[in-house]
Structure 1
Amino acid sequence: MVSKSELNVILEKILYSIEEGVHVIDNHGKTLLYNDEMGTLEEMNSKDVIGSNLLTLFPSLNEESSTLLRVLKTEKPIINKSQTYLNHEGKQITTINSTFPLYYNNEKIGALEVAKNITKIKKLSDQIQQLQDQLIEPMNNKEKKRNKYNFDHLIGKSGGFFRAISIARKATKTSSSVLIYGETGTGKEIFAQSIHNESVRKNKPFIGQNCAALPENLLEGILFGTKKGSFTGAVDRPGIFEQANGGTILLDEIDSMDQNLQAKLLRVLQENYIRRIGGTKDISIDVRIIATTNQEPNFLLENNLIRKDLYYRLSVLNIVIPPLRKREYDLDLLSEYFIDKYNQKFNNEVWMLSDGVKDIFKNYHWPGNVRELENIIEGAMNLIHQEHVIKEEHLSSYLIDYYNSTQQKAAEVMSEEGQSTDYEAQAQEMDLNRAMESFEKQLIAKALRTNGQNISRAAKMLNIKRQTLQYKIKKYTLDG
């Protein structure tokens, strides 16, 4: 058994090791406990704080604006609440707090607050908001700033990509919500802007917001706006729903949005009005929502990353952008497009990819998709001097290493299974896609055997996502 004194040492060690600030007050608002992280956050010395009254330490707070004093009064916890206040030197601090009443023998003895400093994030969000204000502000001649992407920027003719473009073009004729699924780098924002720029809303604002970039409290303020006095330092400021009225909002990485905020977004979509944080007035809005995610919708639903009711509301129109590894016939088209682009930018005269580079590209798995392809070609063209062909020597070493590794693994599989001749004969009788699927199935089966059927380790060996491997296992019925 651990003694009481040993337990106190352990608790004290934990308290002064965690990255969150901890502040405890008694029933009279006097500080009982104040860890070093909270002192760093508020730029105060714990020796000066312990034993002092909270309102004496922070004169900008009162019984209503202080989350500690409010919980002390109401005895109701406050979870993940944003609070902006001034320290003893008048410096503004913004925190996200979770605050709880404390009891001993069923009697209230004080309140505990755990805080995380988001002052820098708050400043960043204010800068983002100011930039967005400038972005949507009409010019004197009533011209609006135009977004740069349209359907001409969507390069490709493969079946899945062509279908995605077809659905996107039909989406320009309506104002229904759109959900776009595609891996990172597949061009989700290009699709979103293309839809907006060919719709009846094209002369109205298009505003994008990454839902993963900010905490819930700040994101809510950016989306719905704030009312002066709703919290310390709050001003009257419209959110992007008001700013984009009549236009389109792109909500990128919608699955990163907190469930509580998802519920508020659903209500806006159903009722077509918003209410600023701290406000009492309902503001009517007419905004089209285009949401994006880089994870499969079924995966989001199964893991409760998105509310089902919100998902059904957003996915009136569903666009699936295939990854580049499934667009082999588009590789040449995209490569030519980016070569032309950087010829103009760098004043080069590059004509093509070498056959060796084409082979490497076709065997690469493209985790970064089209964005990665563009970066690779841009990098290669930085290394070319008075040459007309991109060769292996112009590529990043990781591409060459990956290609050599896959070729070696393929040779090992053929040797081990004793199916080299059979495989070549099969490849002559079936089309390329079926041949590649047969080879892929063999690689996956071998990886699973090598790793004792452990999916995570097999996925790491194959250098693909775990959920992607799970999908392929079901596709090839390797789970039986």
Structure 2
Amino acid sequence: MRDWEDRLLFLETMTGYIQDALYVIDKHGNELFYNNKIERFEPAHRQNMLAELLAVFKSGQPVLDKYQKYMTVDHREVHMLSSFVPIKRNGEIIAVCSINKNITEMANLLNKVIDLQGQLQHHTQTAKQSGTGATYTFSDILGTSSQIQAVIDKAKKAALGCAPVLLTGETGTGKELFAQSIHNYGQAAAEPFVAVNCAAIPETLLEGIIFGTVKGAFTGAENTPGLLEQAGGGTLFLDEVNSMSLVLQSKLLRALEEKRVRRLGDRKEIPIYCRIISATNVDCRTLLREGKMREDFYYRIAVVNLTIPPLRERSEDVLLLAENLLKRFNKIYGKRITSLAPEVASIFAAHKWPGNVRELYHVLEYAVSFGDNETVLTPNHLPDYLRNFYSPPQYFSPPANLPMSALPDILAATEKRLILNALALHKGNITKAAETLGIHRQNLQARMKKLNILKKVNFFEASSCESEF
């Protein structure tokens, strides 16, 4: 079978399983290709689509996400977003493809999400005395290190203005804590604080949630204000803003620049007054280089850019945070653990905390919840992954009353045990093991070869390996 026939077979098979309706024509309006989803279109609507496709032949420009409505042969109303894309060969348009996404099925879910968002906002406003939905302040951000204090000072200055703020930091560093604190420290503290996680909501739903909808925009749509309106004169917090598509970035950029928003399906523009605080766990310079974030959008949302340091860069704050969390979990679980054993303090100081403050939170909640009547938190209370990794090595102790002639064997066995311990502690990382032993990497490799130690050492080998004697 020829190559073009294979490709056609692959194309027909794959497009038969996708949910979007595809329709391709040439410059004379002849049908070149369509999948089975297009067959349910009314003939009249296919004529309308044909006119759109031919218009793209003339303009040469794609038309993206155009809202359309049609009736199926069984009299169901369908709403969809259509894109018309020219297909070029050697610079000449040889065909135009229509890609039609059915958004009717998403309508009910969209309305449910918007309704739940409104209920949550109402509940938060009535539950909190301030009525804003922001409960944290700068006093809740613990830490005496110069790194965290510098960010707090900068955030307080930013809070007194109205410029958009971008919070950058690893997962678990407390970006929403800072966002709420900035809101509560500013002049709009009495206004609403509305938050949305951009990565947790499908793109097609997120647009309606942010901009709002009007009745009739699609089946089941109601007159619902978007988050930009719900925030009033307060703050809209866009968490994980880096997951927002380029198309939505462009639409949001326009709204922020013009200070006006248009609900989906509406022609009327509504003024907006809220401040935007965004957060990302990815360096935006990387996103800009990769073309995943619009440059103009970045400069709009990052007038003030605050980078929250990870916990490993402010290790002196770990014990202060641990002490505070212990008090909190003692109240929750009815325990009376008041201090950390020295071994636990050493483990906390040595750990790099890849999950940052959130990881410390979960470690201490685990430890306190499994405690009994102790007043001191010991390594036995810690999760297995933390306790096992930092357990002190069981160094070899040679038997007593050995003859002097056994000294070379004793030294060799002791050296092997020390090397195995170091390798086990660092999961086989030779460079780190050499640093622990106080020797160069090349020296360690030579000693390993001499003592017949494999390069890849099992993590538990040091504790399970028996004595040479």
Aligned counterpart, 2:111: 126
Aligned counterpart, 2:145: 158
Aligned counterpart, 1:407: 425
Aligned counterpart, 1:384: 371
- Kindly indicate whether residue 347 of structure 2 is the aligned counterpart of residue 329 of structure 1: no
Q: Greater Rg, structure 1 or structure 2?
A: 2
Check conservation: 2:217, 2:265, Cα contact below 8 A.
yes
Distance in 1, Cα, partners of 2:427 & 2:77 = 58
Q: Deviations over 1:89-109 (max 9, x none)?
A: 888987766565899xx9999
TM-score, length basis structure 1? 0.70
Alignment of 1:256-267 (within 5 A): 256-267=243-254
Alignment of 1:19-98 (within 5 A): 19-24=18-23, 34-35=35-36, 54-55=41-42, 63=45, 70-75=48-53, 76=56, 78-80=63-65, 98=83
Aligned counterpart, 1:287: 274
| SS class of match (1:327) | helix
Alignment of 1:304-453 (within 5 A): 304-403=291-390, 407-408=425-426, 412-413=430-431, 420=438
Q: CA deviation at 1:112?
A: 4.9
AA aligned to 2:262 is: R
Where structure 2 has 5 or more consecutive residues not aligned to the other structure, the ranges are 57-61, 392-422, 445-469
AA aligned to 1:345 is: I
C-alpha RMSD of matched pairs (Å): 4.1
Aligned counterpart, 1:43: none
TM-score, length basis structure 2? 0.71
Aligned counterpart, 1:462: none
Alignment of 1:106-125 (within 5 A): 112-113=98-99, 115=101, 119=105, 122-125=107-110
AA aligned to 1:354 is: A
Decide whether aligned partners of structure 1 residues 333 and 345 sit closer, same or farther in structure 2, where only a CA change above 3 A counts. same
Check conservation: 2:104, 2:219, Cα contact below 8 A.
no
Aligned counterpart, 2:134: 147
Q: CA deviation at 1:199?
A: 1.5
Q: Deviations over 1:173-214 (max 9, x none)?
A: 111211111111110001111111121111111101122223
Distance in 2, Cα, partners of 1:160 & 1:102 = 53
- Percent identical: 35
Aligned counterpart, 2:233: 246
Decide whether aligned partners of structure 1 residues 226 and 392 sit closer, same or farther in structure 2, where only a CA change above 3 A counts. same
Aligned counterpart, 2:180: 193
Distance in 1, Cα, partners of 2:325 & 2:436 = 42
AA aligned to 1:420 is: G
Aligned counterpart, 1:14: 14
Decide whether aligned partners of structure 1 residues 394 and 256 sit closer, same or farther in structure 2, where only a CA change above 3 A counts. same
Check conservation: 2:81, 2:102, Cα contact below 8 A.
yes
Query: Which one is further off, 290-299 or 300-309?
Result: 300-309
Q: Deviations over 1:131-186 (max 9, x none)?
A: 33234557699972542211121111111111111112222211121111111111
Distance in 1, Cα, partners of 2:32 & 2:218 = 23
Decide whether aligned partners of structure 1 residues 311 and 413 sit closer, same or farther in structure 2, where only a CA change above 3 A counts. same
Decide whether aligned partners of structure 1 residues 372 and 86 sit closer, same or farther in structure 2, where only a CA change above 3 A counts. farther
Q: CA deviation at 1:80?
A: 4.9
Aligned counterpart, 1:468: none
Distance in 2, Cα, partners of 1:406 & 1:142 = 54
Distance in 1, Cα, partners of 2:129 & 2:388 = 54
Check conservation: 1:82, 1:217, Cα contact below 8 A.
no
Check conservation: 2:169, 2:175, Cα contact below 8 A.
yes
Distance in 1, Cα, partners of 2:3 & 2:287 = 46
Distance in 1, Cα, partners of 2:224 & 2:100 = 29
Check conservation: 1:71, 1:111, Cα contact below 8 A.
no
Check conservation: 1:164, 1:320, Cα contact below 8 A.
yes
| SS class of match (1:318) | strand
Check conservation: 1:72, 1:101, Cα contact below 8 A.
no
| SS class of match (2:216) | coil
Distance in 1, Cα, partners of 2:170 & 2:370 = 29
Check conservation: 1:71, 1:100, Cα contact below 8 A.
no
Aligned counterpart, 1:467: none
Check conservation: 1:82, 1:94, Cα contact below 8 A.
yes
Aligned counterpart, 1:224: 211
